[in-house]
Amino acid sequence: MPQVLEFKLPDLGEGLTEAEIVRWLVAVGDVVEVDQPVVEVETAKAMVEVPCPYGGVVTARFGEEGTELPVGAPLITVAVGSQALPEAPAAEAEGSGSVPRPLIGYGTDHSSPARRRRVRPVTAEVTAPVVPVAAAAKAVAGAPVAVISPLVRKLAKDNGVDLRALRGSGPEGLILRADVEAALAAQRAPEPAPVAAPALAPAPQGERIPLKGVRGAVAEKLSRSRREIPEATCWVDADATELMAARAAMNAVDGPKISVLALLARICTAALARYPELNSTVDLAANEIVRLPGVHLGFAAQTERGLMVPVVRDAHTRSPESLSAEFARLTELARAGKLTPGDLTGGTFTLNNYGVFGVDGSTPIINHPEAAMLGVGRIIDKPWVHGGELAVRKVVQLSLTFDHRVCDGGTAGGFLRYVADCVENPAVLLRGL
């Protein structure tokens, strides 16, 4: 008799409490192996393939693609044991016995695609889906509302929504965030005004795009940054002709090519060593400024899924060649949608090269909970006074947005001036090493 086991959405780390089903990688009747990815989900931070800790036959799936599930909600059920695999050879059936193996870990394995095998329809006893405990509890009169996510409870409480009056759209009547948001939208809709005859045609409503997933996480983070951080911005134009010439000379020899972003990152880490106030965060609970020992450098990467900010760990210890390679690696993962939550968190300072969009300047919003962000515009030919004469030089605008709680304008100005000096004369950076 095979044993049917229920696999639930696991804790994906980084404080995440829910995820949206993007794509199922297996179907009912498929044979799965231990740690084989069975579903691709989108959290507020990344796309993640979730591996199953059991080997056997998939007997049920919970949730359609596009459904948002809280951590702990059922994902699939799997029949394990020799009788669940009628076509498997004896040695393989023995390896997938009735005792489930432990789950090794979560994350996306980019080395090989998910594997699927179909088998003949198994017995009705095996294919019948297991009814979760939540379903049984629901049948009891007066049972509590099926809400698992603390975020859903808080959203309802903060907006005065009675959860007992809602009908959940999740598995087994589970109330999702989308259900609460729909109730809020219905409450806020204005009462229709009486219209004199003849009735007018309704005005176009326009396209509605849910603020969820990555877009929702970005919106919440930017809103929180503006609410909590008293930010200020200063900027300066710099002559980048010598920096571009130095890069061309470095790339003229054999070896890894160095990007402009890597040179700017190297300048940033040197400037932060001189002005550590800007590599810090504010602990509101303790009413303290926390200066951080290392530089984990975030950088903006535009993808089809929106703006991502991957983090280069220990950027202050890396050479320009190492920085170039890491920027390239993380950018490729970002565009492929394969960044992990760990790749997107833990930054201490952000470098934003918005010049790639063809713009000169910006006043960026600080990437909460960091204390500063350096923005870099496009590098273009402009008239410039050089050596007492008017010349055409390669000019860039640099802007620094900083948390005014961690430092005053003198410190911010000193940081930005040092960066500009290194851009105009790279030898300044070499003297500081």
- The catalytic residue positions are 404, 408
Greatest alpha-carbon span in the chain? 90
- The first and second tokens of residue 307, run together, are 């703006």
How far apart CA 130 and CA 73 sit, in angstroms, is 13
* Closest listed residue to residue 77, CA positions, set 102, 63, 57, 49: 57
Tell me the CA distances in angstroms from 239 to 379, 392, 417, one per residue in order. Answer: 9, 10, 12
- The first and second tokens of residue 431, run together, are 């003297």
Using an 8 Å Cβ cutoff, are 50 and 342 in contact?
A: no
**Cα four-point dihedral sign 195, 198, 200, 201:** positive
3-state secondary structure of 74: strand
Neighbouring CB atoms inside 10 A of 317's CB total 10
Neighbouring CB atoms inside 10 A of 338's CB total 17
Using an 8 Å Cβ cutoff, are 358 and 367 in contact?
A: no
Task: Write the DSSP symbol of residue 405.
Answer: T
* Closest listed residue to residue 258, CA positions, set 337, 360, 328, 173: 328
